[in-house]
């Protein structure tokens, strides 16, 4: 009986999951082990982070996005669907589709979540989409175990009073694209999860800035054979004359003083190697090929195209699927979900170079599974008419069935003729 009650309690708890990572606690921004404060803004000041976020955000924003309808044989684009102009052109009167998707993808990469408010008309159809800041969103469950999105809206962001109000939104009023997370409700920030790696890069950059601000001259000590009456005055005088822009001035040492550098030179401290490794480390966080952020050491003409294709397959494709499924879930009406779907077109990124495409088209054309119009559509060319053979599927004339080939066919024919004569 106790075992039965235990399982009943367990099943009951599974029916009512709780969000343990609500609010801004989900991001875990703060000071890294290297002593740097890492958050979404300071991280974007690291060039490798900025490059990775920009590459992924612009890639998603630049992909063609269309609404399709299922057909008996295949699919067709539906340009007259109400969602089509929103997703393809203008999600709201203030921004284009590119800017909207670029903004949301940036939020997804920095915060681990992307939110947009859905404005619907009287028929429940989507009218506008507006981005929402992820750090102002709190996801919880109400007493009926339904998700509630609470957004903090500042009424006077540029004033001194900082007045605000909390707006509660239903799930059908929010387009939510979560990244990788613990509970399936919200994602956690890649920046927060990798703050120590990013902090090392920030610390190395700060060290380099300080070093060159002092004219690339390491600190040291002045040795005096006697007793210095006012060492602080001597230190300030030396610093004023031989630091910063004056670091290369010629020093004249009096009274037998000598100068000895104390700091370890950057080459000995592997300063450059550390900065270079951190580029690869940050690229690894976002799964971006190093050559796309300017590191060409391991890239060549023979493998850079393959790396670009792998970027589409293994980096962009998971993000594309997250976007497509989130939009299908939130934007299509319940009665439309079995008949329509939303899809990015990544074919253009997978086409390869011109020669490879032409060779592939030739093989498809000669083997009968591509027509002239199929090829022209993939190359973004206008179709040719039916009379000109645009939709004909051809096969190579020297290919035939085994039973119809050469001596084998003659022998089979002779056997059949002999049998008929009998």
Task: Give me the residues paired with residue 223 across strands.
Answer: 258
Nearest Cα to Cα of residue 101 among 382, 370, 397, 342: 342
Tell me what pLDDT residue 404 has: 64
Contact 180, 187 (CB under 8 A): yes
pLDDT grade, residue 11 (50/70/90)? Answer: very low
pLDDT digits (tens, 9 = 90+) for 309-332: 888 888 999 999 999 999 999 999
Residue 54 confidence (pLDDT) above 90: yes
Task: Give me the residues paired with residue 152 across strands.
Answer: 166
pLDDT digits (tens, 9 = 90+) for 71-114: 887 788 899 999 999 999 999 999 999 999 999 999 999 999 99
- Tokens for 173, please give them: 């009023």
- Tokens for 68, please give them: 């399709």
Where do runs of H (alpha helix) occur along 214-353?
A: 231-242, 271-286, 304-310, 317-331
Most confident of 10-14, 101-105, 391-395: 101-105
pLDDT digits (tens, 9 = 90+) for 185-208: 889 898 988 888 888 887 877 766
Domain regions of the chain by residue span: 27-214+270-350, 219-262
Residue 267 confidence (pLDDT) above 60: no
The bridge status of strand 30-31 relative to strand 37-38 is: antiparallel
Q: What is the mean pLDDT of the chain?
A: 78
Tell me what pLDDT residue 276 has: 74
Tell me what pLDDT residue 10 has: 41
Contacts of 218 (CB under 8 A, 6+ apart): 211, 261, 262, 263, 264, 265
Q: Is the pTM value of this prediction over 0.75? A: no
């Amino acid at each position: 009986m106790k075992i039965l009650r235990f399982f009943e309690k367990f099943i009951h708890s599974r029916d009512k999951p709780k969000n343990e990572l609500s609010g801004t606690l989900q991001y875990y921004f703060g000071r890294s082990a290297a002593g740097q404060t890492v958050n979404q803004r300071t991280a974007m000041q690291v060039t490798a982070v900025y490059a990775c976020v920009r590459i992924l955000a612009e890639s998603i924003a630049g992909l063609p996005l269309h609404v399709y309808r299922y057909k008996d044989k295949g699919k067709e684009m539906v340009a007259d669907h109400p969602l089509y102009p929103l997703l393809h052109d203008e999600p709201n009167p203030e921004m284009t589709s590119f800017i909207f998707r670029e903004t949301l993808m940036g939020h997804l990469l920095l915060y681990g979540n992307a939110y947009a408010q859905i404005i619907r008309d009287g028929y429940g159809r989507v009218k506008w989409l507006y981005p929402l800041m992820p750090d102002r969103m709190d996801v919880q469950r109400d007493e009926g175990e339904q998700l509630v999105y609470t957004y903090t809206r500042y009424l006077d962001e540029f004033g001194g009073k900082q007045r605000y109000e909390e707006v509660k939104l239903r799930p059908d009023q929010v387009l939510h694209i979560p990244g990788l997370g613990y509970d399936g409700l919200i994602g956690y920030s890649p920046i927060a999860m990798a703050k120590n790696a990013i902090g090392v890069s920030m610390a190395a950059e700060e060290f380099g800035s300080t070093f060159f601000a002092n004219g690339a001259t390491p600190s040291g000590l002045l040795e005096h054979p006697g007793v210095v009456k006012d060492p602080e005055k001597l230190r300030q005088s030396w610093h004023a004359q031989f630091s910063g822009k004056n670091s290369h001035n010629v020093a004249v040492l009096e009274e037998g003083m000598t100068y000895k550098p104390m700091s370890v030179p950057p080459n000995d401290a592997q300063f450059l190697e550390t900065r270079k490794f951190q580029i690869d480390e940050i690229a690894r966080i976002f799964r971006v090929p190093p050559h796309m952020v300017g590191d060409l050491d391991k890239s060549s003409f023979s493998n850079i195209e393959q790396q670009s294709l792998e970027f589409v397959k293994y980096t962009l494709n998971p993000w594309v699927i997250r976007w497509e499924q989130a939009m299908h879930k939130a934007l299509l009406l319940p009665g439309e979900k079995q008949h329509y779907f939303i899809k990015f077109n990544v074919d253009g990124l997978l086409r390869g170079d011109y020669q490879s495409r032409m060779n592939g088209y030739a093989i498809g054309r000669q083997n009968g599974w591509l027509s002239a119009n199929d090829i022209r559509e993939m190359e973004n060319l206008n179709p040719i008419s039916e009379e000109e053979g645009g939709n004909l599927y051809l096969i190579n004339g020297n290919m035939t069935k085994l039973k119809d080939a050469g001596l084998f066919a003659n022998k089979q024919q002779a056997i059949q003729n002999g049998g008929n004569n009998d």
